[in-house]
């Protein structure tokens, strides 16, 4: 069984934080599905990831292509990802279940701490996942660096 990691974004936006987490997941040898709610938002994120750092390259694809199953990082709005992810990163309040946590090494929930609706959604996800017996950690960047603030 994996664990759910909640990332409370307060200093850097999603498009700055996500590539760092994706690189760490890839360094661990994991395939990743980035799960969102809106296809247009995922297309925007796809473009941002291609713009990445000049000295780096983050191989990824937007779901719906002919090589989805081969993508190390797949951006999708579906709950089932064709690349059989070891890690799922949920953004923009995308749905996550205890089953997701059980079948992955890690599920990451990234949420905008400046958006009260996003914070409420993340709190509900924390309650549902920990209530279902999932291991969970809450990470905050409020101090300027990532710190684990809670664990269940």
pLDDT digits (tens, 9 = 90+) for 23-51: 999 999 999 999 999 999 999 999 989 88
Tally of CB atoms within 10 A around 90: 24
Task: Tell me which fold the domain 3-151 belongs to.
Answer: Rossmann fold (3.40.50)
pTM: 0.94
Full strand arrangement of the beta sheet holding 147-151? 61-62, 73-76, 32-35, 87-90, 106-112, 3-9, 135-140, 147-151
Tally of CB atoms within 10 A around 151: 11
What percentage of the chain reaches a pLDDT higher than 90? Answer: 89
CB 84 within 8 A of CB 31: yes
What percentage of the chain reaches a pLDDT higher than 70? Answer: 97
Residue, of 144 and 35, whose pLDDT is higher: 35
Confidence check: pLDDT of 53 > 70: no
pLDDT of residue 39: 96
Which pLDDT band, with edges at 50, 70 and 90, does 55 fall under?
low
Q: What is the mean pLDDT of residues 109-128?
A: 97
Burial tier of 16 (Cβ tally within 10 Å: 0-12, 13-18, 19+): exposed
Sketch the domain layout of the chain as residue ranges. 3-151
Average pLDDT, the chain: 94
How far apart are the C-alpha atoms of 57 and 66, rounded to whole Å? 21
Confidence check: pLDDT of 137 > 70: yes
Confidence check: pLDDT of 151 > 90: yes
């Amino acid at each position: 069984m994996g664990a759910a990691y909640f990332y409370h974004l307060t200093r850097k936006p999603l498009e700055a934080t996500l590539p760092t987490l994706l690189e760490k997941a890839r360094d661990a040898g994991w395939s990743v599905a980035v799960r969102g709610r809106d296809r247009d938002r995922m297309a925007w994120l796809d473009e941002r990831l291609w713009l990445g750092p000049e000295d780096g390259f983050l191989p990824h694809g937007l779901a719906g292509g002919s090589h989805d199953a081969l993508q190390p990082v797949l951006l999708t709005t579906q709950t089932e990802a064709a690349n059989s992810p070891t890690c799922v990163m949920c953004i923009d309040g995308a749905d996550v279940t205890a089953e997701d946590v059980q079948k992955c090494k890690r599920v990451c929930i990234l949420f905008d701490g400046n958006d009260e609706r996003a914070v409420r959604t993340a709190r509900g996800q924390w309650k549902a996942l920990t209530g279902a017996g999932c291991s969970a950690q809450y990470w905050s960047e409020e101090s300027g660096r990532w710190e684990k603030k809670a664990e269940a």
